Amino acid sequence: MSPDQRRAWFARVVESGLENKMFAPADVLQHATPDVLANHLPPELLSKVLAASLAAGSMTPERVLDTVTPELLAQHLPHDVLWQCIAAAAARAGVTNTPGKP
Cβ–Cβ under 8 Å, residues 93 and 39: no
Site for other proteins in 64-83 (CB under 8 A): 79-80, 83
> Min. distance of Cβ 61 from other proteins in angstroms?
17
Cβ–Cβ under 8 Å, residues 37 and 76: no
Instruction: Please identify, among the stretches 17-25, 33-41, 42-50, 60-68, the one whose residues bind other proteins according to the rule CB under 8 A.
Output: 17-25
Contact call for residue 22 and other proteins (CB under 8 A)? yes
Report the alpha-carbon angle 87-8-82, nearest 5.
Answer: 25
38 vs 49: CA distance, rounded Å: 11
Interface residues with other proteins (CB under 8 A) are 1, 5-6, 8-10, 12-13, 15-17, 19-22, 79-80, 83, 86-87, 90, 93-96, 102
